[in-house]
Structure 1
Amino acid sequence: MTVWVGIDLGTQSVRAMAVTDAGDVVGAASRPLTSRRDGDRHEQDPEQWYAALAAACAEALRDVPSDEVGGVAVDATSGTVLLVDDAGAPRSPALMYDDRRAAAFLPRVNEAGGAVWDRLGYRAMQPPWALPKLLWLLREFPGDFRLAHQNDYVNRRLVGRATAADLSNALKTGVDLMAEDWPRDVMAALGVPDAVLPPVVRPGSVLGTVCAAASKETGLLEGTPVIAGTTDGCAAQLGAGATTPGSWNSVLGTTLVLKGVTREPVRDPLGVVYSHRAPDGGWLPGGASSTGTGVLSRDLPGRDLDKLSYEAARRPALDAVTYPLVSPGERFPFNAPEARGFTLGEIDDDVARYAAAIRGAAFIERLCFDYLDLLGAPVDGEIILTGGAARSRYVTQVRADALGRPVTLRENAEPALGMALLAQGLTATMARTREVVEPRPADQAHYLRFVDALAARGWLPAHVAAHAHERSAR
């Protein structure tokens, strides 16, 4: 039996899973992470990343013979970066995926790299992307330092030397996914020296092997292959088994993330959809919304969400809808920094407040698919739901109803599983279907009223709203 280790380096925790070729989980563990947030600032301690990773990995492998492990891969949050010295030690804070302090650099970034970004399909970078952050870091922390993405930092600790960055995590730092290299003329125009940039490889490439020091800390046998990982969104997609053209993984947790599979990159005039490069050379388009169930902890603190879900299911007449923005500004399926949450209809208790937020998240999910269809992306394949919200039958049914499509639930789909599959080489069948939930007949008028409200506020472009109406009438 060969065991593959996948590690998900998330925002709130690190999770490690040891998985067989057949998809049996033979070990799993997690450790919490802490953040420092203040307005546009969001930082984490890189040393905590590795300490938590090592502890979680060691626990997950406690009952697994070390010589049975065939490889390990790590995913990380997209757009999280820091500067390190020649020894790999942090020389700046780690700026997390949603840190927006570098927004002032965005015009320079998009002017210098606009032609490349346009060719790659997303047309323009957004304020929290990693390349503006890199310019900010180089200004604030001058010195002979090197860029490290979140999983570059821990991969170096695992291997014991500097490693290449994977193309998936390097996307938001400006890597040219067509050439599979940095656009060096763009970087030079922005004042980024070649020496700052790591080499890049496709996800699934071998970065090196576990060193002696890491072996003692993680329980991985020295010499175990360390495989280039992906972003957490792509990892979740692999774990869900969304790997064939036209299939999509929709992850609803704190926020909503959609990832699909296409043969060609999706080009988006609004710049809210961007395509990662798949390990086989294909494309993984998708986007991340600023909406999600994160509003529940903010608006319903301390409430029993399972109980609210049960009560909401017993009150089908609830028809209010909330635009559930977790933080100001929308990123997908439209770009509107000025967007703010709102509610249509009456809310008179916490059950109605809960149901309105869930319905709003489902409507945004539907609007994402409408927009992807407008861009010409294939959206007729399997839709696989994952993330914390997929554990609720009520939420899953509301989403299936809003989409008007069957949705698939997996037995065990999470980013760490996706990384185990990537470490294995993507030839095993680890994703197992638990259930397919069919949609119930739904009144499209509620969805279209929500779409029109977004358009009336000037956030959703009129042609996108029109396509949503057209698609609803099919």
Structure 2
Amino acid sequence: MARERLFLGVDLGTSGIRVATVDETGRRRTIVTRIWPCGQSWNPAAWLHHALQLITLISRGRPSAEIAAIAVDGTSGTVFLCHPSHGRPLTPVLAYDDGRARAEAEALAAAGLATGPASGPYGGPAKLLWLIRHYAQTRAVLTAQGPWLTGMLTRCHRVLDEHNALKLGFSGQWAEGLARAPTSAYLPSVVPAGTPLGPLRRDLARRLGLRVAPLIVAGTTDSTAAFLALGPLPRGSGVSSLGSTLVLKIESPQPVLVPESGIYSHRLADTWLVGGASNSGGAVLAHYFDRAALLRLSAELPLVSDTGLHYYPLLKPGERFPMNDPTLAPRLAPRPSDDRLFLQGLLEGLSAIEARGYALLTAHGAPRLQRVVTTGGGACNAAWRTIRERVLGVPVSTITDRPAALGVAHLARSGWMAQH
């Protein structure tokens, strides 16, 4: 009797890690989740440790199945330098919302060096310059969260998928601001998402108890994986991921690139995912309210009218989309004495950012928004959905059972099928 063949996806998020499998028909088989221990969100050793533990858990839980392929997604724009041979991190991890490379971004702009959709202090070019200046390394390669873990599974650290590469300065080719000394020496090769890279390292296959080493497939970003998890959608369907940050995407027949507004496009077969990622999102809500308070207060919101507070919810200065402004200050005052009004003001502010984002995408050539599909932790909040429908002016639906890990598992399946 033939063994069941499974395809596994690893989703590295800001709050935790999730691993999922699908079978050859694309049907969901397994999902396991683990929250990052305190302080481990940006620790590469923790990413590898917990990924291997969860893969082992799935493998032992389905001993009659064969894991045929694995792909990984992670947060885009989260970068660092690693050793090109064994992958050891050589610098701190600069997270997606880390704006410390402001001077480097200004220097690139002043020199007239184009960095494409990765412009500004949150982009890869400025971050790479910052890393080089503060952590001089003679042998190092630029990497990102998902590609680093992929490299640890294959010992192939000089390869980056094109979706993660976009935020690092690659759009068909490396941006002018990178493709010259000294930064050119740190640049990896770029391949399409879903490209077969080779088998899992033999030592890891033995450690995981796998009789056959799975194929490792080039992965993608977390928000693209979340889109893939949803399957085909009608034209004009926006997908809002309400996680720690707010990420918007809409499928388009042509790319839209507006770096000054934080708009980018990921190629996906013969179409494009146009979108942007705000620094605002659920992390702001979690800063002010624990889960129990958020659930209780959300159920008590009046919702009959806007609060008029006009918040711009950020935890620290700096925004990526719908405006690319590293100096934008949070706007969270005045704070009402009633926590219900404060929460409603935050939700209204988040909804306004979402509406402004979709309007901006349409203004620059993306399809007109007809409906919004919501994923992520914030999708379950009924009060937020009510506010969003009012502000967006289109129907808003919720899908909570198709996490990004399923999307990247489908990508692993596609890569395996392309090779077989």
Please give the range of the TM-score, normalised by the shorter of the 2 chains. 0.7 to 0.9
- Tell me which of 293, 296, 299 is aligned to 2:285: 296
Q: 2:11 aligns with which of 8, 26, 34?
A: 8
Is 1:316 the counterpart of 2:316 in the alignment?
no
Which residue in 2 is equivalent to 1:138? 132
Task: Provide the residue aligned with 1:445 in structure 2.
Answer: none
Report what 2:160 is aligned to. Answer: 165
- Please tell me the root mean square deviation across aligned C-alpha atoms, in Å: 2.8
Deviation at residue 330 of structure 1 after TM alignment: 2.3
1:392 is the counterpart of 2:381: yes
TM-score by length of 2: 0.88
Q: CA deviation at 1:221?
A: 4.9
Instruction: Name the structure 2 match of 1:422.
Output: 411
Give 1:244 deviation, angstroms.
6.4
In 2: Cα distance, 1:306 partner to 1:275 partner: 35
C-alpha deviation, 1:113, in angstroms: 7.0
Q: CA deviation at 1:405?
A: 1.0
Q: Deviations over 1:290-324 (max 9, x none)?
A: 22232222223575211111111x55346344322
Report the alpha carbon displacement of residue 274 of structure 1 after superposing the two structures with TM. Answer: 1.2
Distance 1:315 1:261, change over 3 A: closer
The code of the aligned residue for 2:167 comes to K
How do residues 81-96 of structure 1 correspond to structure 2 at under 5 angstroms? 81-85=79-83, 86-96=85-95
Identity %, equivalent residues:
34
Instruction: Using structure 1 for the length normalisation, give the TM-score.
Output: 0.78
Shift of residue 104, structure 1, vs aligned partner: 1.4
- Which structure carries more relative contact order (alpha carbon 8 Å, separation 6+)? 2
8 Å contact 2:77–2:164 — kept in the other structure?
yes
| Corresponding residue SS for 1:229 | strand
CA contact (8 A) 1:256 1:289 kept: yes
Q: Deviations over 1:8-40 (max 9, x none)?
A: 011221111112355543322233335769xxx
- Higher mean C-alpha displacement, 159-168 vs 338-347: 338-347
In 2, Cα distance between equivalents of 1:419 and 1:281: 18
Give the match for residue 287 of structure 1.
276
1: CA distance, partners of 2:280 / 2:132: 31
Which residue number corresponds to residue 97 of structure 1? 96
Q: Is the 8 A contact 1:237 1:243 kept in 2?
A: no
Q: Is the counterpart of residue 187 in structure 1 residue 178 in structure 2?
A: yes
The Cα offsets for residues 428-448 of structure 1, whole Å up to 9 and x where unpaired, read as: 9xxxxxxxxxxxxxxxxxxxx
**Structure 2 letter corresponding to 1:260:** I
Distance between the aligned counterparts of 1:66 and 1:83, measured in 2?
A: 39
What is the one-letter code of the residue matched to 1:266?
Answer: V
SS at match of 2:379: helix
8 Å contact kept, 1:293–1:358: no
Q: Give 1:65-80 correspondences, 5 Å limit.
A: 65=63, 67-80=65-78
Summarize the alignment of residues 453-464 of structure 1 with structure 2, pairs less than 5 Å apart.
Answer: none
What does residue 51 of structure 1 align with?
A: 49
The corresponding residue for 1:40 is none
Q: How many Å separate the matches in 1 of 2:14 and 2:411?
A: 21
**Paired positions, count:** 411
In the alignment, residue 32 of structure 2 is paired with which amino acid? Answer: A
Matching of residues 75-474 of structure 1 within 5 Å? 75-85=73-83, 86-110=85-109, 114-115=113-114, 117=116, 122=117, 125-139=119-133, 140-162=135-157, 164-177=159-172, 181-183=173-175, 186-194=177-185, 196-218=186-208, 220-241=210-231, 246-268=236-258, 270-278=260-268, 280-301=269-290, 304-312=293-301, 316-317=304-305, 319-321=307-309, 322-342=311-331, 347-425=336-414
1:55 CA displacement: 0.9
